[in-house]
């Protein structure tokens, strides 16, 4: 089980080390590589697909421009991302309140010479509707439509009829979250209070995981494999867990009952690290699992371009399908694990003291 959980982490760390090495190599040989017209860079391709972007590449030469929203020392500034690139999708300087330019996909302030002004860029807050944000909004709309429609069915048909249509699709999942996640971990007495939180987390992760697996337009963004997304959720979990904590929980952290005082002193810092470690593990697990899946699929597809022969597809495509099927499972599994652990942490933090000795 531990090894299974570590596997995606290992994959993602190996792949990132590999990517980073090639990135530095690539940087060194950039001049040389630039001369080679039409050369294919695997690392760059994969990273571009996984990373966030200011515009959304749909297919071929079709790109959706997204709004760029910047908070600068001179106030807010909003413009289209199309202004940051030329017709060949190469970054150009856009002159607003400052001079902006995309450097490795990020908006930076540049000086008159076209060089990045690091000091000014640090004061630049980028609230742009990026590809990931747009994808997140799409998932929010899908969720609102799905869930509100399903919930409306209860009002229409009342509670006397069996669930129908969308309602019968949603109800087992809601019941799954209630009966398999909330009830065993939080307990019958307090679980109802946390159900909306757990359900929202579960469905938001699940929807974004599935959207990320769709290779064409409404999907394709790597939202749930983005550290910012998982971090936000982990912070929310951290806040909720600590808000629902009681005296018993903190006693077990700072002054473990039933231990010798020296052990208590020894355990306190470890337990305190655990308080932060739990949401951090949530953050990294989801990020690593989803990103690893995307990297795997992209790497397999890239085999065709690395070998420069279409026959490589004979090997790559079955593997891609196989990994995709596994990713479908992982998409559900990760949403489940994230929600389950959240429920477990809430349950641990709000557990009533039981007066037996350890």
Partner 1 sequence: MFLEINPLVLPDIGLVFWNTVAFLGLLVVLGKFAWKPMLKAISDREKGIEDSLAKADKMKADLTAMQNENETLLAKAREERATLIKEAKEASEKMIAEAKDKAKSEYERIVADAQVAINQQKNAALTEVKNQVGSLVVEVAEKVLRRELANKAEQETYIKQLADGVKLN
255: left (phi over 0), alpha (psi -120 to 50) or beta: beta
- Rule CB under 8 A: choose which of 227, 267, 303, 317 binds partner 1: 227
Q: Does 195 bind partner 1 (CB under 8 A)?
A: yes
Stretch that binds partner 1, among 26-34, 74-82, 232-240, 343-351 (CB under 8 A): 232-240
Is 104 an interacting residue with respect to partner 1 (CB under 8 A)?
yes
Separation CA 44–CA 24 (nearest Å): 12
Least distance from C-beta 271 to partner 1, angstroms? 25
Paired tokens of 270: 């470890």
Q: Which of 84, 102, 133, 316 binds partner 1 (CB under 8 A)?
A: 133
Binding of partner 1 by 202 (CB under 8 A): no
- For 22, the enclosing helix (H) or strand (E) is helix 2-28
The structure tokens 């908006």 sit at 107
**Hey, what are 130's tokens?**
């990026």
- What's the CA gap between 328 and 344, in Å, rounded? 24
- Residues binding partner 1: number (CB under 8 A): 54
Interface with partner 1, residue 147, by CB under 8 A: yes
Q: How far is the CB of 133 from partner 1 (least distance, A)?
A: 4
Confirm or reject binding of residue 231 to partner 1 (CB under 8 A).
Answer: yes
77 contacts partner 1 (rule: CB under 8 A)? no
Q: How far is the CB of 315 from partner 1 (least distance, A)?
A: 27
Question: Residue 76, interface with partner 1 (CB under 8 A)?
Answer: no
- Pattern of binders to partner 1 over 271-310, x per CB under 8 A? ----------------x---x-------------------
Residue (204 or 304) nearer to partner 1, CB: 204
What's the angle, vertex CA 72, arms to CA 70 and CA 76, rounded to 5?
A: 55
Q: What is the DSSP letter of 312?
A: G
CA gap 345, 290 in Å, rounded: 22
Regarding 50 and contact with partner 1 (CB under 8 A), the answer is: yes
Question: Which residue among 55, 130, 342, 350 contacts partner 1 (CB under 8 A)?
Answer: 130
| Residue 41 is a binding residue for partner 1 (CB under 8 A) | no
Q: What share of the chain is helix, strand, coil (3-state, %, to 5)?
A: 65, 10, 25
Q: Which is nearer to partner 1, 192 or 259 (CB)?
A: 192
Q: Which residue has the tokens 């079955």?
A: 318
**Alpha-carbon gap, residue 203 to 118, rounded angstroms:** 39
Sort residue 171 into left (φ over 0), alpha (ψ -120 to 50) or beta. Answer: alpha
Q: How far apart are CA 208 and CA 74, in angstroms?
A: 35
- Contact between 126 and partner 1 (CB under 8 A)? yes
CB of 16: closest distance to partner 1 in angstroms? Answer: 6
Which range touches partner 1 (CB under 8 A), out of 28-36, 82-90, 189-197, 255-263? 189-197
Interacting residue with partner 1 among 20, 243, 263, 270 (CB under 8 A)? 20
Is residue 197 involved in binding partner 1 (CB under 8 A)?
yes
Q: Measured between alpha carbons, how far is 192 from 182 in angstroms, rounded to an integer?
A: 8
């Amino acid at each position: 089980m531990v090894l299974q959980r570590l596997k995606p982490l290992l994959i993602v760390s190996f792949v990132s080390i590999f990517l980073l090495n090639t990135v530095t190599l690539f940087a060194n040989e950039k001049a040389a590589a630039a001369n080679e017209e039409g050369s294919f860079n695997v690392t760059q391709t994969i990273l571009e697909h996984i990373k966030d972007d200011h515009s959304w590449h749909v297919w071929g030469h079709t790109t959706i421009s997204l709004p760029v929203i910047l908070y600068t020392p001179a106030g807010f500034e909003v413009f289209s991302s199309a202004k940051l690139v030329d017709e060949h999708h190469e970054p150009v300087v856009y002159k607003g309140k400052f001079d902006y330019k995309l450097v490795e996909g990020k908006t930076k302030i540049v000086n008159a010479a076209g060089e990045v002004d690091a000091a000014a860029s640090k004061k630049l807050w980028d609230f742009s509707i990026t590809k990931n944000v747009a994808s997140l909004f799409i998932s929010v709309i899908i969720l609102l439509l799905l869930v509100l429609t399903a919930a409306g069915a209860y009002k229409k048909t009342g509670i006397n009829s069996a669930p129908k249509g969308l309602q019968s699709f949603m109800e087992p999942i809601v019941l799954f979250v209630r009966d398999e996640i909330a009830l065993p971990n939080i307990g019958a007495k307090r679980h109802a209070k946390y159900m909306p939180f757990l359900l929202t987390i579960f469905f938001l992760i699940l929807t974004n995981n599935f959207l990320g697996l769709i290779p064409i337009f409404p999907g394709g963004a790597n939202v749930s494999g983005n550290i910012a997304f998982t971090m936000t959720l982990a912070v929310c979990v951290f806040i909720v867990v600590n808000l629902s904590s009681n005296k018993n929980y903190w006693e077990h952290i700072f002054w473990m009952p039933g231990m010798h005082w020296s052990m208590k002193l020894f355990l306190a810092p470890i337990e305190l690290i655990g308080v932060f470690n739990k949401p951090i593990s949530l953050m990294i697990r989801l990020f690593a699992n989803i990103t690893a899946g995307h990297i795997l699929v992209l790497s397999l597809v890239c085999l065709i371009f690395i070998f420069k022969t279409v026959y490589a597809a004979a090997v790559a495509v079955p593997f891609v399908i196989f990994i995709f099927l596994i990713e479908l499972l992982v998409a559900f599994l990760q949403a489940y694990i994230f929600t389950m652990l959240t429920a477990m942490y809430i349950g641990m933090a709000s557990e009533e003291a039981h007066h037996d000795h350890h």
